[in-house]
Chain A
Amino acid sequence: KAGVTQTPRYLIKTRGQQVTLSCSPISGHRSVSWYQQTPGQGLQFLFEYFSETQRNKGNFPGRFSGRQFSNSRSEMNVSTLELGDSALYLCASSYKTGDYGYTFGSGTRLTVV
């Protein structure tokens, strides 16, 4: 079965721009979580969506937002990009709340210049 698909794989944006990243979960998975990894930092939780509702949100500024569609696909948006937003963004899906672990996508590498 298809895994978690994230698009695009790589992205270069300029400071001040906005960006939208996409995540298609495994078929049947209703929970989608987003994580940020920056050099020297572990995976930092951004937010989780379940059945189109945001269930949890990490400690990130309001410039980071997301949504989930009825087919469980999710997008995250970062507005007014800063250099510090350069990171690997991973999404992960699960059937419920990760009771059997999360399946991760390959990530989107965002570079802000």
Chain B
Amino acid sequence: ILNVEQSPQSLHVQEGDSTNFTCSFPSSNFYALHWYRWETAKSPEALFVMTLNGDEKKKGRISATLNTKEGYSYLYIKGSQPEDSATYLCAFMHGSARQLTFGSGTQLTVLP
């Protein structure tokens, strides 16, 4: 059973704060690491797909880094806005079984 852990479980920040979350995954037989944003009453939306050790991806104020050797990825949000409030999910794809194993998510609330 693959273990994908995310921390913290939930986070409240003020508008304008920068924040980051952690995703830990198995460091062996890595294929890809996905990040998704899931807003209430909507569908999960893909943010990043990361495949190479040292990858850094950016989309607006959101960025992510990847360390496959030690098995972690960070998601950063710069200058959080209320519309960033959502659950952020990471998902690990194993090299052999190409299926996503999701973490339980970090629930972010940005207070105006």
Do B100 and A102 touch across chains, with their CB atoms under 8 A apart?
yes
Do B43 and A101 touch across chains, with their CB atoms under 8 A apart?
no
Task: With both chains docked as a complex, state the minimum distance between the C-beta of B33 and any C-beta of chain A, in angstroms.
Answer: 11
Do A56 and B99 touch across chains, with their CB atoms under 8 A apart?
yes
Interface residues on B, range: 20 to 34
Report the bound CA distance from A103 to B34 in whole Å: 12
CB contact between A45 and one of B36, B43, B49, B101 (< 8 Å): that residue: B101
Is A98 part of the binding interface, using a Cβ–Cβ cutoff of 8 Å? yes
A18-26, A68-76, A79-87, A104-112: which one contacts chain B? A104-112
Task: With both chains docked as a complex, state the minimum distance between the C-beta of A98 and any C-beta of chain B, in angstroms.
Answer: 7
Do B102 and A98 touch across chains, with their CB atoms under 8 A apart?
no
Task: With both chains docked as a complex, state the minimum distance between the C-beta of A68 and any C-beta of chain B, in angstroms.
Answer: 15
Question: Helix, strand, loop or mixed for chain B's interface?
Answer: strand
Do B46 and A48 touch across chains, with their CB atoms under 8 A apart?
no
Do A56 and B97 touch across chains, with their CB atoms under 8 A apart?
yes
Given known pairs A42-B89, A106-B43, the reply for A101 and B34 (CB within 8 Å) is yes
Task: With both chains docked as a complex, state the minimum distance between the C-beta of A35 and any C-beta of chain B, in angstroms.
Answer: 8
Do A97 and B98 touch across chains, with their CB atoms under 8 A apart?
yes
Is B86 part of the binding interface, using a Cβ–Cβ cutoff of 8 Å? no
Given known pairs A56-B97, A58-B99, the reply for A42 and B104 (CB within 8 Å) is yes
Do A99 and B89 touch across chains, with their CB atoms under 8 A apart?
no
Contacts of A104 in B (CB 8 A): 36, 43-45
Contact indicator per residue, chain A 45-79, by CB within 8 Å of chain B (1) or not (0): 10010000001101100000000000000000000
Other A-B pairs beyond A42-B105, A43-B91, 6, CB < 8 Å? A42-B104, A59-B1, A101-B49, A103-B43, A104-B43, A106-B42
Q: Which A positions have Cβ atoms within 8 angstroms of B?
A: 3-4, 33, 35, 41-45, 48, 55-56, 58-59, 90, 92, 97-107
